[in-house]
Amino acid sequence: MTDHTVKAFDDDINALRALIAEMGGLTEDSIDKAMAALSTGDVALADKVVAQDARIDELDANIERLVVQTLALRAPLADDLREIVAVLKISGLVERMADYAKNIAKRVETISAPTRVEPLSLLPSMARIAREMVKDALDAFAARDSKLALQVIERDRAVDDFYNSIFRTMVTFMMENPKMISESAHILFIAKNLERIGDHATNIAEMVHYVATGTKPPEREKATLIETGLEN
Amino acid sequence: MVTSPMADMRNSDPKMTARHVNVFYGEKQAIQDVSIDVELDEVTAFIGPSGCGKSTFLRTLNRMNDTVPSARVEGRITLDGEDIYASGMDVVQLRARVGMVFLKPNPFPKSIYENIAYGPRIHGLASGKAELDQIVEKSLRRAGLWDEVKDRLHDSGTALSGGQQQRLCIGRAIAVEPEVILMDEPCSALDPIATAKIEELILDLRGNYAIVIVTHNMQQAARVSQRTAFFHLGRLVEQGPTTEIFTNPREERTKDYITGRYG
């Protein structure tokens, strides 16, 4: 795209994009570390995820500050306006995904005891899909790629299906192993966190579609999540 | 692609229409094949870089270009379906029906009262002093100036502040009961507060008059208009609902201009 006549406006937009990239990279790293810590029971690694979240929150605050400043000083319009609004929303979504990663990391301690339950092995495959969605949603934003954004949106269904399947498995498991209720509940929460990460990646992808095309993506059929019975 | 002004369905006929309008200054063509509708219940903003022809086109709507000897207008422009360039058209009457407010406030060097009363008097709109007083008060109220000047109606209009002078000029345009008001950069010489008052006035007047405003201020166009037309190099590049033009313009040239990428 052609540069703005006022070069400082381009600098602002580039700075915002760089902040989103940094924040997104850290968040992807947090999700990876949280899942690695979970599968190996590595509490020290989990603590790193918790520590990293402070930096992500700080980036979110910086983005908000720069967005407000850009809106006030540049009064952006058209593509620029859509981009700035998207940056603000995406920043909030990434910040919450990082919170879910932190939440997963905090549970490592509680289920890293010798009594590691077997259904834990269900989580990595679910995490992999959610994690790919996060990466592709952020890549789509960097490249203003509406096609890739639509692919991310399509994949949310798989994460929801995974969640439903884990939910059923865990209910059965808890009935058969009443001593494992506490660990099982943690696993359910982790599955829920991964499901929410998938949702937020989907929301980012929707914003990317809006930035790139000026329109919201077409409505898709949504999965029904079993614990609420509500469409997600 | 220029959208057809007929593309969206309307309940009523447009107040003014322009079809295939060309304007020449001598050999030089300033406007090329512009077609657009002006609706009664809307504020229409004309935007575009300097020299794009937006002011020239605005002036064709009340034949202000007649005063420029080298200017020549082709095409058809109608007011309520009537061709305003037809040979029988009374231009003085036309300019009462299609009033104009300019960039720099230009009150007559007379009293505030006389600035407003002049038009109604020459158009025979008042049958006596009492009626003229009423028109002056009503026009100044509509222009949002009454409370500020009611105790000094016989002071000179040129002694008012710039913003007040511009509202006086709007009051003067309103006094002859126009149907369309054309505004050519009405706030360019005003400070932000005076500008806000004019914008508030435009929003107030909307619905009673068809208003067309030429502005260089994107935010102003976005704030006061419901329909925006982007001119570039004498052509109408794109027109549409203001929110569409400013959030998701279809034409690359429109986008480059409103986002400040015009080179």
Taking only the tens place, the pLDDT of each residue in B199-227 is 999 999 998 999 999 999 999 999 999 99
- Yes or no, beta carbons of A4 and B259 under 8 Å apart: yes
- Tell me whether A221 touches chain B (CB under 8 Å): no
Q: What is the residue-averaged pLDDT of chain B?
A: 92
**A4: chain B residues, CB-CB within 8 Å:** 259-261
* pLDDT exceeds cutoff 80 at B260: yes
Mean pLDDT of B37-64: 95
Which residue of B247, B250, B253, B262 is the best one to mutate when testing the A interface, meaning the one whose CB has the most A CBs within 10 A? B247
- Tell me whether A72 touches chain B (CB under 8 Å): no
Q: Kindly report, residue by residue over A82-115, the tens digit of the pLDDT.
A: 999 999 999 999 999 999 999 999 999 988 655 5
Q: Kindly report, residue by residue over A198-229, the tens digit of the pLDDT.
A: 999 999 999 999 999 999 998 877 778 876 66
Radius of gyration of chain A (CA): 19
Cβ burial of B257 (10 Å; 0-12, 13-18, 19+) is buried
Q: Kindly report, residue by residue over A119-168, the tens digit of the pLDDT.
A: 788 899 999 999 999 999 999 999 999 999 999 999 999 999 999 999 99
- How many residues appear in chain A? 232
* pLDDT exceeds cutoff 90 at B257: yes
- Yes or no, beta carbons of B247 and A81 under 8 Å apart: yes
Quote the pLDDT of residue A2: 79
Residue B58 sits at the vertex; the CA angle it makes with B52 and B59, to the nearest 5 degrees, is 110
Q: Lowest-confidence range among A120-124, B136-140, B157-161, B218-222?
A: A120-124
Q: Kindly report, residue by residue over A59-81, the tens digit of the pLDDT.
A: 999 999 999 999 999 999 999 99
From A2, A5, A78, residue closest to B249, measured CB to CB: A78
- Yes or no, beta carbons of A4 and B260 under 8 Å apart: yes
Chain centre distance of CA B260: 25
Is it true that domain B16-258 has CATH number 3.90.110.10? no
Quote the pLDDT of residue A229: 62
Chain centre distance of CA A121: 21
Quote the pLDDT of residue B3: 47
Q: What is the 3-state secondary structure (H, E, C) of chain A?
A: CCCCCCHHHHHHHHHHHHHHHHHHHHHHHHHHHHHHHHHHCCHHHHHHHHHHHHHHHHHHHHHHHHHHHHHHHHCCCHHHHHHHHHHHHHHHHHHHHHHHHHHHHHHHHHHCCCCCCHHHHHHHHHHHHHHHHHHHHHHHHHHCCHHHHHHHHHHHHHHHHHHHHHHHHHHHHHHHCHHHHHHHHHHHHHHHHHHHHHHHHHHHHHHHHHHHHCCCCCCCCCCECCCCCCEC
Residue A82 to residue A78: CA distance in whole angstroms: 6
Residue A222 to residue A231: CA distance in whole angstroms: 6
Quote the pLDDT of residue A1: 67
Comparison of pLDDT for A175 and A224, the residue scoring more: A175
Question: A151 near A136, Cβ under 8 Å?
Answer: yes
Q: What is the residue-averaged pLDDT of chain A?
A: 92
**B258: chain A residues, CB-CB within 8 Å:** 77-78
Quote the pLDDT of residue A114: 52
Handedness of CA B125, B127, B128, B134 (dihedral sign): negative
- Yes or no, beta carbons of B255 and A78 under 8 Å apart: yes
**B228: chain A residues, CB-CB within 8 Å:** none
From A6, A77, A215, residue closest to B246, measured CB to CB: A77
From B219, B222, B255, residue closest to A79, measured CB to CB: B255
- Yes or no, beta carbons of A214 and B248 under 8 Å apart: yes
Quote the pLDDT of residue A122: 83
DSSP reduced 3-state for B62: coil
pLDDT band at B7 (very low <50, low <70, confident <90, very high): very low
Q: How many CB pairs under 8 A join A and B?
A: 41
Q: Return the closest-CA partner of residue A82 out of A200, A206, A218, A220.
A: A206
Mean pLDDT of A44-68: 97
Here the tokens at position A168 are 């059923």
Q: Kindly report, residue by residue over A186-196, the tens digit of the pLDDT.
A: 999 999 999 99
Residue of B nearest to A76 (CA): B259
Question: B105 near B194, Cβ under 8 Å?
Answer: no
* pLDDT exceeds cutoff 50 at B236: yes
* pLDDT exceeds cutoff 60 at B84: yes
Comparison of pLDDT for B26 and A121, the residue scoring more: B26
From A1, A5, A215, residue closest to B262, measured CB to CB: A5
Quote the pLDDT of residue B10: 54
Annotated domain spans of chain B: 16-258
Residue B75 sits at the vertex; the CA angle it makes with B258 and B100, to the nearest 5 degrees, is 60
- Yes or no, beta carbons of A2 and B249 under 8 Å apart: no
From B259, B262, B263, residue closest to A77, measured CB to CB: B259
Whether this model's ipTM surpasses 0.90 comes out as no
* pLDDT exceeds cutoff 70 at A7: yes
From A2, A79, A81, residue closest to B263, measured CB to CB: A2
Q: Is A99 left (phi over 0), alpha (psi -120 to 50) or beta?
A: alpha
Quote the pLDDT of residue A188: 93
Mean pLDDT of B57-61: 96
Question: B38 near B14, Cβ under 8 Å?
Answer: yes
Provide the whole-model pTM: 0.83
Residues of B contacting chain A (CB within 8 angstroms): 218-219, 222, 246-249, 254-256, 258-263
Q: How many CB atoms lie within 10 A of CB B177?
A: 17
CATH numbers and ranges of domains, chain A: 7-213 (1.20.58.220)
Here the tokens at position A216 are 């919201």
Residue B42 to residue B228: CA distance in whole angstroms: 10
Quote the pLDDT of residue B251: 95
Instruction: State how far residue A67 is from chain B, nearest Cα, in angstroms.
Output: 16
* pLDDT exceeds cutoff 60 at B106: yes
Quote the pLDDT of residue B4: 47
